[in-house]
Amino acid sequence: MEKSAKIVILTGAGISAESGLGTFRDEGGLWARHRIEDVATPEGFARNPDLVHGFYNARRTQAAAAAPNPAHQALARLQREHKGEVVIVTQNVDALHESSGAAQVLHMHGTLAGALCSACGHRWAAPLQMQTGQPCPACAAPAGRPDVVWFGEMPYFMEEIYAHLAGADLFAAIGTSGEVYPAAAFVDEAHLAGAHTVELNLEPSATASRFAERRFGPASEIVPDWVAELLT
Ligand code: APR
């Protein structure tokens, strides 16, 4: 691959699985234990904010105790050592890319570390445990919520992400089931832009056939190997 190639990487819960954070759709995953409509929709939050804060408080505590694994570290190495631009777009709300030293991480589904005021749109650093009626530091309304994108809400940074995909020479999807749009269609955008596309996953995703190349195995093994190859 040429030295100045632009690389766009999409990551999903699978890259954080070996750091001990649960995925959503695997056996025993988060959606096997919680109903999406109860904990990951605006309607669910309006119906029972305590339940939703409890769900995210537990994930915030778990994420705070997790450490990046070799897959996160390999992507940070790629960003440091590759001559061209390396953009990481993640569906994950944990901060493991950042704590492995990655930069320019676009959290399209928001972050556990963020709090958002439903009344005035102010954002601030979420406390480890949020509670119902969390007062907004800016407008004082009791309208604080996790700054996470719920089903039915617009993902963040979409314009910027499509611009990156339009200029990509290489697109990789790592640890994502390809079940949720718009992320699941990024491979098509990259392909249209003439990029080489590769899926790195434990097993074939729902969009596996749309990739030019597929590599299967645990991210902590196949991602460092893939990065080492790119850098030689
Ligand atoms: N290494 C690599 N891939 C793995 C590993 C691993 N150790 N463990 C699991 N995987 C793969 C699974 O095979 C699966 O394809 O990671 C993928 C996880 O898929 P999901 O649980 O659906 O997670 P994700 O694709 O990130 O979900 C997308 O859905 O619920 C919403 O907002 C939520 O961001 C999430 C979005």
| Alpha carbon nearest to ligand 1 atom 35, residue | 91
Report the share of the chain in percent with pLDDT over 90: 97
Say yes or no: CB of residue 37 within 6 Å of ligand 1. no
* 81-85, Cβ contacts within 8 angstroms, sequence gap of 24 or more: 81/231, 82/5, 82/7, 82/230, 82/231, 83/3, 83/4, 84/2, 84/3, 84/4, 84/5, 84/6, 84/7, 84/169, 85/6, 85/7
Residue 3: per-residue pLDDT: 80
The strand pair at 7-11 and 170-174 is best described as: parallel
Q: Which amino acid is at 186?
A: F
- Which is nearest to 38 in space by CA: 54, 23, 51, 22? 51
Distance 96 CA to ligand 1 centre (A): 15
Does residue 153 line the site of ligand 1, with CB under 6 A? no
CA distances from 230 to 14, 38, 74, 177, 202 (A): 21, 42, 11, 24, 20
Nearest alpha carbon, ligand 1 atom 30: 24
What's the mean pLDDT in 71-81? 98
Q: Which atom of ligand 1 lies closest to the CA of 203?
A: 13
- Answer whether residue 85 shows pLDDT above 80: yes
Mean pLDDT throughout 130-158? 97
For residue 1, name the pLDDT band (cuts at 50, 70, 90): confident
Q: Ligand 1: does its nearest atom lie under 6 Å from the Cβ of 204?
A: no
Centre of ligand 1 to C-alpha 26, Å, is 7
Q: What is the pLDDT of residues 39-67, one digit of tens each?
A: 999 999 999 999 999 999 999 999 999 99
Q: Is the whole-model pTM more than 0.85?
A: yes
Residue of 232, 198, 223 lying closest to 100 (CA atoms): 223
Q: Which domains does the chain have, with CATH numbers?
A: 1-20+68-109+151-232 (3.40.50.1220)
Ligand 1: distance of its center to the CA of 15 in Å?
8
State the Cα–Cα distance between residues 126 and 57, nearest whole angstrom.
10
Please pick, among 53, 109, 122, 191, the residue that the annotation labels catalytic. Answer: 109
**174 near 11, Cβ under 8 Å?**
yes
Is 109 annotated as catalytic? yes
Cα 146 to Cα 123: distance, rounded to the nearest angstrom: 10
Is the minimum distance from the CB of 202 to ligand 1 under 6 angstroms? Answer: yes
CA of 205 to the centre of ligand 1 (A): 9
Residue 74 has pLDDT above 80, yes or no: yes
Q: How many CB atoms lie within 10 A of CB 119?
A: 14
Does the pLDDT of residue 112 top 80, yes or no?
Answer: yes
At 176-210, the pLDDT tens digits run: 999 999 999 999 999 999 999 999 999 999 999 99
- Of the residues 180, 199, 207, which should be mutated to test ligand 1's pocket, given the most ligand atoms within 8 Å of the CB? 180
12 lines ligand 1 (CB under 6 A): yes
| pLDDT for the residue 25 | 95
Instruction: State the DSSP H helix or E strand holding residue 7, giving kind and residue range, or none if neither.
Output: strand 7-11
Residue of 4, 2, 3, 9 whose CA lies nearest to 164: 9
Share in percent of the chain as helix, strand, coil (round to 5): 40, 20, 45
